[in-house]
Structure 1
Amino acid sequence: MFENPFVKTLSIAVLLGIFLVDMGLGLFDIFSTKSSPLPSAFVLMIFAVMFIGGMVFYEKQGLNTVSSLIGGTFAGFGLSFVFVTLVGGVQFALGGGISAIGWEQVISAVAACMIAGIIMLKVLSYKLENHFY
Structure 2
Amino acid sequence: MFENPFVKTLAVALLMGIFLVDMGLGLFDVFSSKSSPLPSAFVLMIFAVMFIGGMVFYEKQGLDTLSSVVAGAFAGIGLSFVFITLVGGVQFALGGGISALGWEQVISAVAACMIAGIIMIKVLSHKLENHSY
Range moving further from structure 2, 13-22 or 121-130: 121-130
Partner SS for 2:37: coil
How far apart, in 2, do the equivalents of 1:68 and 1:31 lie? Answer: 31
- TM-score (ref. length: structure 1): 0.98
Equivalent pairs counted in the alignment come to 133
- Letter paired with 1:79: L
- 1:1-133 matches, within 5 Å, as 1-133=1-133
Q: Please, what TM-score do these two structures have when normalized by structure 2? A: 0.98
Which structure 1 residue ranges, 4+ long, deviate > 3 Å from structure 2? none
Q: Secondary structure, in 3 states, of the residue corresponding to 2:93?
A: helix
**What is the DSSP-based 3-state SS (H/G/I as helix, E as strand, rest coil) of the residue aligned with 1:3?**
coil
Task: Give the counterpart letter for 1:48 in structure 2.
Answer: A
How many Å apart are 1:132 and its aligned residue? Answer: 3.1
**1:56 alignment partner AA:** V
The structural deviation recorded for 1:110 is 0.1
Letter in 1 for 2:125: S
Is the partner of 2:43 in helix, strand or coil?
helix
Can you give the 5+ residue segments of structure 2 that lack an aligned partner in the other structure? Answer: none
Task: Please give the per-residue CA displacement for 1:33-74, whole angstroms capped at 9, x wherever unaligned.
Answer: 111000111101100000000000001111110111111011
